[in-house]
Amino acid sequence: MSERGLIYFDAHFGSLLTDGHDVFFADLGHALSRDFEGIAALLDRHAAHAVVLGDFHQRLLTRSKRTPFPAAEIRAAL
């Protein structure tokens, strides 16, 4: 990320997401970038499925560790 000009200040397990294959950084509120417009476009492009993942994360923490991963909902949000 740093090679692309992004500095991420909030790296912890609560800020990481995975689809079982790749790891994704979430919560970019503590990130700096030389290309802020590029980051803003990235956030805008992924906002809909970030909401789905946020809801999943909340259910996972507060309801059940067996909460199914919302793969279909994420695909629909893309």
Phi-psi region of 7 (alpha: psi -120 to 50; beta: other; left: phi over 0): beta
Please state the rounded mean pLDDT for residues 5-21. 73
pLDDT digits 0-9 by tens, 25-47: 776 665 555 666 666 777 777 78
Q: Give Cα 57 to chain centroid, integer Å.
A: 10
pLDDT at 63 over 90: yes
- b/e map 23-48, b = 16+ CB within 10 Å: eeeebbeebebeeeeebeeeeeebee
What are the residue boundaries of the structural domains of the chain, listed by start?
2-77
pLDDT of residue 62: 92
Cα separation, 29 vs 36, in Å, equals 12
